[in-house]
Structure 1
Amino acid sequence: TQADLSDGAFAQLAWNSFYLAFLAALIAVGFALILAYAKRLNPRKIVSFSVATAGMGYALPGTIIAVGVIIPFAWLDHQLIALASNWFGVDLGLILSGTLVALLFAYTVRFLAVSLGAVQSGLDKIKPSLDGAARTLGSTPLQVLRQIHVPLMKSSVLTALLIVFVDVLKELPATLILRPFNFNTLAVRAFELASDERLVDAAPASLLIVVVGLLPVILLSRSIAKGRTGS
C-alpha cells in the first residue's frame, strides 16, 4: 500500500472516482431538469407516467441495472463493429460497452430518481405565472428554464448534484461490472483488498472515498446555505 501511495496509484484512483462521479452528477441532473420541466409544461398522464417510470431505477439493485445495460450495449457494439467493418474496413472496438459510456448510462438510470426529486421540489416552489409572464415577453421554454428557473432553484440543483455525486462515489456493483479494463475507482480498490482479507491495506482507499467526497460536499453545502439565505 505504501508503494501505491508513493507512485501515485491512489491519486489516480481518487481522480477516476472524482471525475466519474462529477460527470454522472451533471448528466443525471441535466436529465432531471429536462424531465421535470417537461412535466411542468405538459402535465398530461402520459408525461407524468413517463417521468415516474424514468425515476424507478433507484429501486433496483446496481447489479440488475448493470446487467440490463451491458446486454443491449454489447449487442449494439457488435452491430456497429460489423457495420463499420463491412462498409469502411475499420474496427471500431467496443465503443459503448467497453468504455465509460455504459457506466455513465447505468449511473444515470440508477440515480435519476434522486436528482429528479430534488429538482421537482425546487421547481414546484416557482409559481406558474412566472412562466406565463416570460413566455408573453417572447422567451422560449428553454430560455425560461435556463435564465429564470435554474437560477431561482440554484440550491435544489446543487443539492441534486451533491447527492448524486456522493452516491456514485461509493457505488460498487455497477462499477465492478461495467468499468472498462484497467480502470479502477476507490470503491473497487477497497472492495478488492477487503475481499483478499487485506483489511489494513483497504483502509487508505476507504478513507480516500471520504476525503475525495468531502471537499465538494463542503463547497456545495456552503453554496446551498448561501442560496437559501439570499432567498
Structure 2
Amino acid sequence: MPGTVLALGLLGPLVAVDGVIGDAWRALTGKGVGLLLAGSGAAVTIAYTIRFLAIATGFAQAALARLPLDLDDAAASVGARPGRVVRAVHLPLTRPALLGAALLVFVDCLKELPATLLLRPLNTETLATYVYQFATRGSFEEGALAALLIVLVGLVPVIRLVRLSDDLDPDAPLA
C-alpha cells in the first residue's frame, strides 16, 4: 500500500482516538491534552509498522517454511515445550532471515517520504524530509549531503546482508 494512502487512511482513526482520549482526560482533570497519537512519532511508527509488516512477515514465513518438521518432532520427543522449541530451535535457525528482514525494513523506513511528511510531528525532520525540503526549494546542493547520507546509511546494511548471505550459502566458493 502506498505511504500516502496509508497516511491519509490513518489520519481519521488516529484523530478519533485522540479525541476520545482527550475527552476522557478532560472529564478527569478538566484540562485538554491535545493530539497524543496523531501529533507524535506514534503515528509514524504505526504507519511504518503497517506499511512494512509484509516484508518482515514474508521473510519470517519463508525462513520457517524451510525448517523441517522433524525438528519440532525431535524436540517434542525429548519433552521440550513449544516456547522452548521456539527459543532453542526456531530462533537460532531463522535468525539470519529475521536480521535480513530487519535490515530491509530499516532501509525502507529510512527513505519513506509520503507517510513521514503527513504523519510526523511538527518541527521534526528525518533525512527524507530534509532532502525533500531542499529539493522543493531548488536548493539541491544543500540537500545533497543528506541525500548522500541516506544512500550510505542504506548501503551499509545491504552490504552486511550480502556478506551474511554469502556466509550462509553452502554453494558459495571458498575464498
Q: TM-score, normalised by structure 1?
A: 0.67
CA RMSD in angstroms comes to: 1.9
Deviation at 1:136, TM superposition (A): 4.1
* Equivalent residues in 2 for 1:1-231, closer than 5 Å: 60-228=1-169
- Give the match for residue 173 of structure 2: none
SS of 2:89's partner is: helix
Shift, 1:151, TM fit: 0.8
Paired letter, 1:133 = A
What is the alpha-carbon distance in structure 1 between the residues aligned to residue 160 and residue 84 of structure 2? 28
Question: Residue type matched to 1:92 in 2?
Answer: V
CA distance change for structure 1 residues 93 and 228 in 2, over 3 Å: closer, same or farther?
farther
Contact 1:187 1:209 in 2 (8 A): yes
What runs of 5+ residues in structure 1 fail to find an aligned partner?
Answer: 1-59
Does the residue aligned with 1:226 lie in a helix, a strand or coil? helix
Identity between Structure 1 and Structure 2 (%): 42
Verify the 8 A CA contact 1:154 1:227 in the aligned structure 2.
no
SS of 1:139's equivalent in the other structure is: coil
Find the residue that maps to 2:38 and give its secondary structure.
coil
Question: Cα offset for 1:228?
Answer: 4.1
Aligned to 1:39: none
Amino acid at match of 2:149: L
- Structure 2: distance between partners of 1:90 and 1:147: 50
1:68 Cα deviation from its structure 2 partner? 1.2
Relative CO higher for 1 or 2, CA cutoff 8 Å, sep ≥ 6?
A: 1
Whole-Å Cα distance in 1 between the matches of residues 26 and 80 of structure 2?
Answer: 47
CA distance in 2, matches of 1:128, 1:84: 51
Q: Over alpha carbons, which structure has the higher Rg?
A: 2
